[in-house]
Amino acid sequence: MPTIEEEFEKLRPVLDKWSKVVLFAKKIDVKGVENFVKKGPTIIMGNHIGTLKDGLTIYEIVPRSFVFTANKMIFDKNELDFLVRKHLKRHLKGFGLFVNAIIKPIKIPTINFVTRTVNRVGTIPVDLYSSKRDAIMKCQETVKAGRALITLQGRGRVMKTDPNPYVSPIRKGVAIISYNLYVNEGISVPVTPLVMFGTHRPFFIPGKIQVRVGKPMFISDYMGGGFNETIERFRSALEKTINSLFFEILRS
């Protein structure tokens, strides 16, 4: 049976084609690419404001194969179709139904491609509306096996009600995974923070996607007190760093 890495390499020609379509007219400007960890266990964590454009931007800039966490709804064709229609309606109101009908010849093969691909490359499903325990355990196993785990924080769109609409509050999952692997397995996992800006803009509209990649962070630098104190300290530091990278983009 092919490994995740072998499946990833087999899919590269197809992913390259889809990336050209999804990121059409978008230019990626990335700074800090040298901060990616190229071998061994690692977690890459960033914001999530651009649906598929985020994932394919990551594909273009990360210099190794990796495993994503993703909304479990994208593993099912009908549920993914529902998400697409919901997205169009949210952004285009009544006009979204018309657009949904127009793009149907493209939408159906895209949905089929996504649902097939996420299963082949070991994507970890996350239920956004219930316990994350199973997902956290699968993430730990993935990282322990020496792979790169990509986890994007957010709902795939700009959240106007958040303090920073482009960077959603960082959840505790990455801190918990890092803590458990450090304390129970003796593995000090480098967590690389990054932020993307520009992926929220519509498909096929020319523009720049700016990415800033920070230096790897380690939970060992934030140990102290009990479990809850350490988790919150590391979570808060990650959130602060990602927000700082975002404001660095705005200043550039």
* Three-class secondary structure of residue 187 per DSSP: coil
Residue 168's pLDDT is 96
Q: What is the CATH number of the domain that holds 237?
A: 3.40.1130
203 pLDDT more than 70: yes
pLDDT at 129 over 70: no
DSSP secondary structure string for all residues of the chain: ---HHHHHHHHHHHHHHHHHHHTTTEEEEEE-GGGS--SSSEEEEEE--SHHHHHHHHHHH-SS--EEEEEGGGGSHHHHHHHHHHHHHHHHTTHHHHHHHHTHHHHHHHHHHHHHHHHHTTPEEE-TTS--HHHHHHHHHHHHTT-EEEEEES-SS--TTSSSTTSPPP-SHHHHHHHHHHHHH-----EEEEEEESTTSPTT--EEEEEEEPPPB-GGGG--SSHHHHHHHHHHHHHHHHHHHHHHHHH-
Q: By mean pLDDT, which of 177-181, 185-189, 200-204 is the weakest?
A: 200-204
| In contact, 151 and 45? CB cutoff 8 Å | yes
Give me the number of domains the chain comprises: 1
Give backbone dihedrals phi and psi of 45, rounded to 5 degrees, phi first.
Answer: -125, 130
Check whether 118 has a pLDDT greater than 90. no
Q: Structural domain of residue 81, as residue ranges? A: 4-251
Residue 241 pLDDT greater than 70, yes or no: yes
Q: What is the pTM for the complete model shown?
A: 0.89
**Region 232-243 average pLDDT:** 98
- How confident is the model over 39-67, as pLDDT tens digits? 999 999 999 999 889 999 999 999 999 99
